[in-house]
């Protein structure tokens, strides 16, 4: 057995050996607690027939735990300085591969096809760089990858918004965008002390299980997201007022929006936070012909 990377002592040794200094701008907060890492991996439900995509392996703390369980792990790392370190720390795990690339620019689908042929169960598992959590999750979902789901560490505040239900103050366009594609649940709240350096915010691990089909397939996802975002521009305003100011101008706009609300059975005085995803989907489809 190899000594785990994710202990404070081993992590410090590795960083010192390579003279590595953390880049705040790249969201570098490394995990130094093996129990937390094992817990993350457990929550992903992986087996020896599974494969994992990791975003931002750092010095390989999570990559190592994934490699112990999965058939294969491919990790995208943006910081070139980490490549020689990963080559060293991951040497005992031939089932790992590091790709030096910004995950936001990567063709992840192609990588999955090339690297995971014959593997059916694929999960994304990561301790995400906090400056880009939402763009990374949205990219992975919008790319429609052949994955079972995503288990990631992120800011607790963002996890709360992602998993929020209608009628709560956290519920908004982010909850809707992500729950449209997945079932979302927070599986763990994590203290700052398990990171090096410690982040300024609390963290949580969230599990997103991809739906076979989007929750309520809409005519246009782009317009659906325009309507949902537009309905939360000013949270205290009614749905009609928010849509009046956020939707593009058109002839008799107010009448059209009111007609669509009536047709979908939504009281125009309600606020966006009270509408379910299904209601937003129906509203978006009813409004669509008026604006196209
Ligand atoms: N997985 C390691 C761990 O848990 O200790 C490191 C996690 S650290 C929070 C985030 C990692 O993502 C860093 O290694 C950082 O360099 C990398 N990173 C930041 N932005 C990235 C991007 N756009 N694409 C790929 N990796 C990125």
Residue owning the nearest CA to atom 20 of ligand 1: 26
Q: What is the pLDDT of residue 3?
A: 82
Residue owning the nearest CA to atom 22 of ligand 1: 102
Q: What is the pLDDT of residue 269?
A: 96
Nearest Cα neighbor of 205 from 271, 119, 146, 124 is: 124
> Cβ(187) to ligand 1 under 6 A?
no
Which of 10, 56, 193 for a ligand 1 pocket mutation test, highest count of atoms within 8 Å of Cβ?
A: 56
DSSP 157-198: HHHHHHHPPTTSTT-SHHHHHHHHHEEEEEEEEE-GGGEESP
| Peptide bond just before 197 cis, omega within 30 deg | yes
What DSSP designation does 123 have?
Answer: E
Between the two ends of the chain, the Cα-to-Cα distance in Å is: 62
> Cβ(31) to ligand 1 under 6 A?
yes
Rounded CA gap, 114 and 256, in Å?
49
Rounded CA gap, 114 and 102, in Å?
18
Place 251 in a pLDDT band, splitting at 50, 70 and 90: confident
153 phi/psi in degrees, rounded to 5: -85, 140
Q: What is the pLDDT of residue 11?
A: 97
Domain with CATH 3.40.50.150 in the chain: 8-210
For residue 82, report the distance from its CA to the centre of ligand 1, in Å.
10
What's the whole-model pTM score? 0.95
Q: What is the pLDDT of residue 1?
A: 59
Domain with CATH 1.10.8.100 in the chain: 221-291
CATH level 3 topology of 221-291: Helicase, Ruva Protein; domain 3 (1.10.8)
Residue owning the nearest CA to atom 14 of ligand 1: 58
Q: What's domain 8-210's superfamily in CATH?
A: Vaccinia Virus protein VP39 (3.40.50.150)
Query: Two tokens at 180?
Result: 């449209």
């Amino acid at each position: 057995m190899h000594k785990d990377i994710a202990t404070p002592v081993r992590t410090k040794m590795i960083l010192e050996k390579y003279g590595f200094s953390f880049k705040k701008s790249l969201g570098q907060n490394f995990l130094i607690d093996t129990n937390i890492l094992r817990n993350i991996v457990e929550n992903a439900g992986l087996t020896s027939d599974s494969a994992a995509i990791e975003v931002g392996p750092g010095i390989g703390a999570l990559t190592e735990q994934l490699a112990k369980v999965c058939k294969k792990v491919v990790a995208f790392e943006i910081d070139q300085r980490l490549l020689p370190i990963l080559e060293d720390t991951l040497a005992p795990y031939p089932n790992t591969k590091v790709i030096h690339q910004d995950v936001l620019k990567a063709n992840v689908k192609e990588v999955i096809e090339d690297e995971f042929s014959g593997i059916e169960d694929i999960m994304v598992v990561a301790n995400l760089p906090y400056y880009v959590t939402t763009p990374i999750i949205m990219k992975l979902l919008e790319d429609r990858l052949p994955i079972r789901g995503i288990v990631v560490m992120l800011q607790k505040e963002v996890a709360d918004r992602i998993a929020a239900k209608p009628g709560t103050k956290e519920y908004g366009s982010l909850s809707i965008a992500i729950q449209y594609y997945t079932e979302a649940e927070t599986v763990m709240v994590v203290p700052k002390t398990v990171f090096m350096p410690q982040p300024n915010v609390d963290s949580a691990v969230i599990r997103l299980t991809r739906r076979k089909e989007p929750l309520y397939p809409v005519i246009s996802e782009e317009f659906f997201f325009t309507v949902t975002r537009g309905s939360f521009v000013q949270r205290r305003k009614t749905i009609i007022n928010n849509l009046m100011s956020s939707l593009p101008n058109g002839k008799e706009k107010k009448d059209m929006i009111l007609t669509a609300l009536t047709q979908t059975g939504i009281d125009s005085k309600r606020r966006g936070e009270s509408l379910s995803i299904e209601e937003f989907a129906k509203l978006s489809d009813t409004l669509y012909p008026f604006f196209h």
